[in-house]
Structure 1
């Protein structure tokens, strides 16, 4: 799969504030698959809070939601459920600095959330608590040690601004 990442705009910065931490700066980029012309949209954490230590988050946890769409992008109802999942998870897994959401990609019938966590087991436990009592979400969970943040750094190196 050959993708070229292009910054939508150098000025496209979305700041999201959480009650218990300073602002985090998010950026948006898009990638266009040459063979299909379809886009993948990436939202990534481009600036970290002062004093943030990546070494404290050695485990990478990827949540994968597969869907079907002729455009490669989720239909509105499915996208709303994806947003709901993210809304449930954010406060639960990021509370007390247990994990950080660093990258969300959407396109080609797939949405992925990449978190870095202090502990894979603790992340999964918090995820289960957050989703208890909710309708099932069609997600896969993939986790592995990544103490040097290789996945995130590989993505960032591919972003052309």
Structure 2
């Protein structure tokens, strides 16, 4: 399945009004409606941010290295689809919809094998309707209406 590489970015805020950059992938209807990717997995990497909650240069480099190791391995093997990635408030988030959480975990371990132990937090939910994804997409619509 050919995946879209089209993204949008909107700004959001946490409860303390610190910025979060929300990056969402668009044009994934074929994958969403296929019924193959019913499990939503969110990986969170905490970091020590600056006063605005953004990563240091060193943390930004690490985040990019993780991204480059992880995303191609997950997507090229058909294991899952990165639907969003967000940064801010001292955290980096990657959001995937996957076929099987055990296979995803194996690929995650394979992708991160060369890294030192990371303080990743993993949340897994059954979301066959992609409700969380559609909520994220609604941020794009609201943002475009506010311009």
Match of 2:118 in 1: 137
Higher strand residue share: 1
Match of 2:89 in 1: 108
Aligned length: 140
Distance 1:111 1:105 in 2: 6
Matched, 1:52 2:52: no
- Alpha-carbon shift at residue 48 of structure 1 (Å): 2.5
Question: Relative contact order (alpha carbons < 8 A, sep ≥ 6): 1 or 2 greater?
Answer: 2
Distance 1:117 1:105 in 2: 18
Gap runs ≥5 in structure 1: 1-19
CA RMSD of aligned residues (A): 2.0
Q: How does 1:20-31 map to 2 (within 5 A)?
A: 21=2, 23-31=4-12
Normalization by structure 1: what TM-score?
0.78
Match of 1:11 in 2: none
Higher helix residue share: 2
Gap runs ≥5 in structure 2: none
CA deviations over 1:7-47 (Å, ceiling 9, x no partner):
xxxxxxxxxxxxx84542111111245854x3110111012
Match of 2:75 in 1: 94
Normalization by structure 2: what TM-score?
0.84
Distance 1:28 1:157 in 2: 12
Distance 1:143 1:34 in 2: 23
